[in-house]
Structure 1
Amino acid sequence: MDIKLFDSELKVMDVLWKEGDTTAKHISDVLSKEVGWNMNTTYTLIKRCIKKGAVERSEPNFMCHALIPKEEVQKAETDELINKIYDGSADKLFTALLGRKKLSAEQIEKLKQIVGEL
């Protein structure tokens, strides 16, 4: 993915991923409640997402449509984290994640299954 989205832009995208195509006004209403942003802030962020090619605008009513799937952004962000913080080593990230808390037997089995499928 060649598009870099900032945290504030990801909040706009998250509304679209959760709710599907919707109006800019609805996105503004949601983010006003969740984050406290005013309408101008939200519209500016939506326009930045449009300019970057992450969101498509259509009329009537300033309808917004996510052009990038959430999974694509998750992969790109994970790759960036691995490269930036863990020297490109996914196993170092995996070790750090596992060392953070006690896992249930069910979670351990799920992880074994995932690793076995690699």
Structure 2
Amino acid sequence: MSTPKVFESEYRFCLILWDHEPIKSRDLAQLCEEQLGWKVTTTYTVIKRLSERGVIKNENTIVSSLVSKEQIQTAEIEELVEKKFAGSIPAFLTAFTKSQQLTADEIQEMQQMIDRFRKEHPDD
């Protein structure tokens, strides 16, 4: 099953939800008003939309997520790499590292990920 699409304003809503779940819908609406400047009706519309798409659930006015932050982030990166870099991770990393200065620790962490992948997938 693929991760449902979450748009930018919905993602900001989900960040609040992930930090406070499970949460009563009225309390969530209050947080969205404070942090996003949303009206209560906007929050309830987003709750309904995300519930219909299987991102969250709203049972007895208690809202909780069905999709994790990591799942949403992974889906977004996969979509970005596919759309902008024709699915090429090396092309994505080349573009990314041209505009971002990596620290020695970040480079080491990336190398460890590559080494771990090679160990787990020796025939790839």
Using the size of structure 2 for normalisation, the TM-score is 0.84
Which of structure 1's runs of 4+ aligned residues deviate more than 2 A? none
**Unmatched 5+ residue regions in structure 1?**
none
- Report the Cα distance in structure 1 between the residues aligned to 2:6 and 2:103, rounded to whole angstroms: 34
Counterpart check, 1:55 vs 2:65? no
How many matched pairs?
116
Distance, in Å, in 1 between the alignment partners of 2:59 and 2:31 is: 20
TM-score normalised according to structure 1 size: 0.88
- 1:67-106 alignment, distance < 5 Å: 67-106=66-105
Quote how far apart the aligned CAs of 1:2 are: 4.7
Q: Secondary structure at the match of 2:38?
A: coil
Question: Residues 31 and 42 of structure 1 are in contact (CA less than 8 Å); yes or no, is this contact kept in structure 2?
Answer: yes
Structure 2 residue runs of 5 or longer lacking an equivalent are 118-124
Pick closer, same or farther for the CA change 1:101–1:30 going to 2, 3 Å.
same
What residue is the counterpart of 1:9 in the other structure?
10
| Cα pair 1:55 1:65 within 8 Å, conserved | yes
Q: % of aligned pairs identical?
A: 28
Q: Which residue of 1 aligns with 2:115?
A: 116
